[in-house]
């Protein structure tokens, strides 16, 4: 049964002159913990209200309107509504509902507290306790402080509304940030595209093979940089060519001289066997063009797996090719590196990998985490936006 239902009307003077604060507290509680023999559990606790004009001594069977309830489906309750502040909690053996009332009409109403319990056999038991507060006799003491207390409830409601608005603003801010991130990605992609087009319009001379040519394919010359005379063996400016290719593709070469291309390992080998060549690597990162020069450069024949040979370094980009000096070339279908996995597969490229790389200029375009065309002394694991490898003969052998 209901073990305690209390209602008290507390009135106290406020600190302001001539003001009163009136508040009523209604408590409904059921506690089965003290009943050691009880095998029942509480399933719900509810409070019903009847206003003074709606009841008489002969209608005690009518409960009135439901104003608060805690159930197994909704075991907690905390809300502010009009002039009522309600808190409730339902546990297995104990349940409470507390209501703070700020209006005189609420304080003189009749209330019914109903608890439902379920025993171990599944039977439902209902216990009811009623409390009727008589009409106050002293009309002169008519809760002049109600306005003050009502303001407190309104402030609580305003705080709740502000919290809701702040949550919406936070959500709106997150949506705006996502839009900004999307625009930034689109802008970055556009800048990459524009930069690639700028890089491809630099003046270059296409040389077609003749009887005196060392190779029998057309090649691209740089006639301006550092006095000219450079043969371009690798170029990446737009990302329009996939560089994740097999051994035979890298052997013969691929791409277009008007865009991105690899001249071909066999052609590079033929060139560098006809004389002493130097290498210049130009890379662009975050809008700045840097370079790395090697006073000697060659690659061996296919039987040596096109092993790389380098001379002394100079430049502004850092010596990220030194780690690969003396290493054979590897592709995803020809693994010649020292790593226990295929570096070409792991880092989506083809290069003179060791175990695995300090540079990877044939990596996947725009890829990060060392899988793109990077030069670690300058970019760490981030990709460059342009690369060009070119060789120049210093003298005949």
Q: What 3-state DSSP class applies to 172?
A: helix
- Calculated CA dihedral for residues 206, 212, 307, 277, nearest 10 degrees: -70
Q: What is the pLDDT of residue 151?
A: 54
Please, are residues 253 and 261 in contact by the beta-carbon 8 Å criterion?
yes
- What is the predicted pLDDT for the residue at 347? 97
- The per-residue pLDDT for 82 is 74
Per 3-state DSSP, what percentage of the chain is helix, strand, and coil (rounded to 5)? 25, 35, 40
Instruction: State how far the Cα of 260 lies from the Cα of 385, in Å rounded to an integer.
Output: 12
Rg of the chain taking only CA atoms, in angstroms: 42
Domains in the chain, start-ordered, CATH in brackets? Answer: 5-54+61-131 (2.60.40), 199-393 (3.90.215.10)
Closest C-alpha to 291, from 381, 369, 364, 361: 361
What would the DSSP string read from start to end of 271-337?
Answer: HHHSEEEEEEEEEEETTEEEEEEEEEEEE--GGGTS-EEE--EEESS---SGGGTTPPPBBTTB--S
- Looking only at the bridges linking them, the beta strands covering 110-118 and 124-132 are antiparallel
pLDDT value at residue 203: 55
Which residues, 6 or more positions from 284, have their beta carbon under 8 angstroms from its beta carbon? 195, 199, 290, 384, 385, 386, 387
pLDDT at 136: 38
Name the H helices within the chain: 104-107, 146-200, 247-252, 265-273, 343-346, 376-379
pLDDT of residue 122: 82
Dihedral of alpha carbons 356, 357, 360, 364, sign: positive
Q: What is the pLDDT of residue 134?
A: 42
End-to-end CA distance of the chain: 110
pLDDT of residue 36: 54
Looking at residue 174, its pLDDT comes to 75
- Structure confidence at residue 52 (pLDDT): 61
pLDDT in tens, the chain (397 residues): 444 445 444 444 334 444 444 468 888 888 887 665 567 888 898 988 887 655 454 444 467 888 899 998 999 988 887 778 889 999 888 889 888 888 877 777 888 888 888 888 888 888 888 775 443 333 334 444 444 445 555 676 677 677 777 877 877 777 777 777 777 777 766 665 555 555 554 557 788 887 778 898 999 999 999 999 999 999 999 999 999 999 999 999 999 998 999 999 999 999 999 999 999 999 999 999 999 999 999 999 999 999 999 999 999 999 999 999 999 999 999 999 999 999 999 999 999 999 999 999 999 999 999 999 999 999 999 999 999 999 999 987 6
> What is the per-residue pLDDT for 397?
66
Phi, psi of 383 (to 5 degrees): -85, 150
CB 143 within 8 A of CB 104: yes
pLDDT value at position 50?
82
108 contacts 93 by C-beta, under 8 angstroms: no
The predicted model scores a pTM of: 0.53
């Amino acid at each position: 049964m209901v073990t305690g239902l209390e209602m008290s009307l507390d009135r106290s003077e406020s600190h302001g002159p001539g003001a009163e604060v009136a508040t009523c507290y209604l408590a409904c509680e059921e506690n089965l913990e003290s009943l050691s023999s009880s095998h029942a559990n509480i399933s719900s606790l509810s409070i019903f209200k009847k206003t003074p004009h709606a009841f008489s001594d002969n209608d005690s069977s009518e409960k009135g309107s439901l104003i608060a309830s805690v159930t197994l489906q909704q075991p907690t309750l905390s809300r502010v509504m009009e002039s009522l502040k309600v808190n409730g909690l339902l546990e297995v053996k104990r349940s409470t509902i507390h209501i703070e009332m700020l209006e005189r009409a609420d304080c003189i109403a009749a209330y019914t507290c109903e608890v439902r319990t379920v025993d171990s056999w599944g039977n439902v038991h209902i216990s009811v306790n009623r409390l009727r507060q008589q009409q106050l006799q002293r009309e002169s003491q008519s809760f002049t402080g109600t306005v003050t207390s009502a303001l407190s409830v309104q402030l609580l409601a305003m705080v709740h509304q502000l919290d809701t608005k702040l949550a919406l603003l936070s959500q709106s801010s997150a949506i705006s940030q996502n839009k900004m991130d999307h625009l930034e990605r689109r802008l970055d992609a556009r800048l990459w595209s524009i930069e690639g087009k700028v890089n491809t319009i630099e003046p270059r001379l296409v040389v077609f093979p003749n009887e005196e040519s060392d190779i029998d394919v057309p090649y691209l010359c740089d006639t301006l940089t550092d006095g000219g005379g450079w043969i371009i063996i690798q170029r990446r400016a737009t990302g329009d060519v996939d560089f994740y290719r097999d051994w035979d593709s890298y052997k013969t070469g691929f791409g277009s001289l008007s865009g991105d291309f690899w001249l071909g390992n066999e052609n590079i080998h033929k060139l560098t066997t006809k004389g002493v060549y130097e290498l210049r690597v130009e890379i662009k990162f975050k809008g700045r063009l840097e370079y790395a020069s090697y006073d000697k450069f060659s690659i061996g024949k296919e039987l040596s797996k096109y092993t790389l040979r380098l001379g002394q370094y100079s430049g502004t980009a850092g010596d990220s090719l030194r780690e690969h000096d003396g290493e054979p070339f590897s592709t995803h279908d020809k693994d010649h590196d020292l790593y226990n996995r295929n570096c070409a597969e792991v880092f989506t490229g083809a290069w003179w990998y060791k175990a695995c790389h300090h540079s990877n200029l044939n990596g996947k375009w725009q890829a990060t985490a060392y899988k793109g065309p990077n030069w670690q002394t300058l970019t760490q694991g981030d990709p460059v936006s342009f690369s060009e490898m070119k060789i120049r003969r210093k003298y005949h052998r």
